[in-house]
């Protein structure tokens, strides 16, 4: 299993509205790594912009292909996407989280995983590979944030 960051831009997509929608099915554009992203991989949904960070977690159910944009996604896109682009189809397995970039960086470093690889990656593009140690730390952070939210 590999871990990925899939960037979603709030200027192009109503991510808040989408994450409140109970439909767990989702799709996401793939611009890189189309031959490496596979079934069962985990993608962290990364909100771009001033309040950047992880908002949800998706399990990849269909490897990259020319899949049509799901109807549920069309409701939240500010402009329709072309159906002739590569995308994955997956299931939102974690939501109700908002881990901001500074806290993620601190936790990655504290766990001994070194510098967060997204910070050294080329900032262009939509998809980024994470190291396994980063993915494991991020999954734990997401689960901790969700558990803390339920307690409060």
Cα gap 77→73, rounded to integer Å: 6
pTM of the model: 0.87
At residue 145, the pLDDT reads: 83
Q: pLDDT tens string for the chain (152 positions)?
A: 999 999 888 898 999 999 999 999 999 999 889 999 999 999 999 888 888 888 999 999 999 999 988 889 889 988 877 667 899 999 999 987 887 766 776 676 776 655 565 554 445 668 888 888 888 888 988 888 888 777 76
Cα gap 81→78, rounded to integer Å: 9
Cα gap 125→141, rounded to integer Å: 25
């Amino acid at each position: 299993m590999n871990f990925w960051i899939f960037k979603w831009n709030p200027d192009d997509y109503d991510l808040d509205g989408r994450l409140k929608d109970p439909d767990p099915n989702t799709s996401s554009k793939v611009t890189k790594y189309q031959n490496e992203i596979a079934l069962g991989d985990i993608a962290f949904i990364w909100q771009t912009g001033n309040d950047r960070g992880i908002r949800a977690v998706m399990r990849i159910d269909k490897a990259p292909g020319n899949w049509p944009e799901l109807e549920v996604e069309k409701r939240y896109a500010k402009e329709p996407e072309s159906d002739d682009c590569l995308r994955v189809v997956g299931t939102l397995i974690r939501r109700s989280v908002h881990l901001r970039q500074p806290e993620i960086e601190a936790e990655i470093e504290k766990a001994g995983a070194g510098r967060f690889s997204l910070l050294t990656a080329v900032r262009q593009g939509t998809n980024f590979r994470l190291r396994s140690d980063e993915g494991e730390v991020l999954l734990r952070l997401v689960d901790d944030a969700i558990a803390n939210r339920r307690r409060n």
